[in-house]
Amino acid sequence: MHERRRAVGTATIARLLHAAPPADAGSGPPARRRLHLAGDVVVVVDCYNATPMTVTAALDDLASSASGRRVAVLGDLDGLGPDARRLHAEIGAHARQAGVEQLVVVGDLSRHAGTGFAAGVEWAPDADRAAALLPSLVQPGDTVLLAGPAALERVADALQAAGPAGTGPTHPREA
């Protein structure tokens, strides 16, 4: 849904400036995809140009679209300046409000998202450690959101290779 808002916003600004919108204005971020894995696990990979606003929008999409347990894997958002800790904590609080039941934070700044979330948080220092951790946390029927830097793509790769707990390797289909 937030890709649609971005596309409408881009087209509106282009119209106001009497310019043509970019050719990719409606195509959505190149790294946003949805994978359907074994055990009815859905992985939403939203690892492109992440900002507090796009992560909040992705969490809202997770809240409205997930039918099973909601799992969010959130990485550090760089370039936020002196408000970085507060903004990460606010994202964690929003994740809790959005019904996320399992939060995995990746990186030093994202630890602050964990403080905003409260209980049920796992921390990984980097994407490789998160990739090793997540297959043991994901259960059949979960919807998993990966939001943050492109390095979190490795977590999606790990879930594809290992499958959720108890299901084994999976052959995803993209939607």
Domains and CATH numbers, the chain: 1-29 (no CATH), 31-167 (3.90.190.20)
Integer Cα distance of 44 and 28 in angstroms: 14
Per-residue pLDDT tens digits for 138-171: 999 999 999 988 888 888 888 888 765 545 444 4
pLDDT at 72: 93
Which residue has better confidence, 30 or 111? Answer: 111
- Please give the DSSP secondary-structure letter assigned to residue 21: P
Phi, psi of 142 (to 5 degrees): -70, 150
Segment among 17-31, 55-69, 82-96 with least mean pLDDT: 17-31
Mean of per-residue pLDDT scores for the chain = 78
